[in-house]
Structure 1
Amino acid sequence: MLTWHEPARRAARVRVVSWTCGCRPITYELCAAAGQGFVRRTDQDKRIGHETAWTVIATARRTFEQILRGEAR
C-alpha cells in the first residue's frame, strides 16, 4: 500500500514523463523535477491530486510500473 501526500510545491517546474489515460476517473503520472521523481494521482471527478514521496527517479519509475500492473495502490 502506497502512502499518498498532499502535493508539495518543491520545484518550479515538473516534467510529466509517463501517464495513464485521461479517460479514467483516476489518473496516474510519473513526474520528474529537481533530479527526483514521484507519482502523482488525480481523481478526475473531485479534481483532487496526491503524490508519493519524492525519491530517485528509478524508484519512482518502479512504483509507477507497479501501479500499472495492479501491484500497488
Structure 2
Amino acid sequence: MAVVLGAFVPDTAARWRGVVEREVAQELGVAAAARKLAARLESVAAVLGDAEAQAAGGDEATARWLAEVRAAAYEADGA
C-alpha cells in the first residue's frame, strides 16, 4: 500500500507540470500557481519517501501517519 501512495504524489506532480506547460495555463493566468503546486507536490513526494523508509524500518508512529495520509489521498482522488 505504501508504494501506491508513493507513486500517487509524483504522478500528480507530473500532471501539474503538464498543466504549467500548456498555453491555456498561461492564458488563464494560473501558470505560476500551477508551478508552485507542482513544486510543493514534489516536496511532499520526498517526505513520503523518507516516511516510507522509516515505516519499513519498524517505526509504528510513521506507519500510522502514512496510513492516514494514504486514506486522505484516496479520498481526494475519488472526489
TM-score range, shorter chain: 0.3 to 0.5
The TM-score, its normalising length taken from structure 1, stands at 0.33
Larger fraction in helix: 2
Larger fraction in strand: 1
Structure 1 or 2, whichever has the larger Rg, is 2
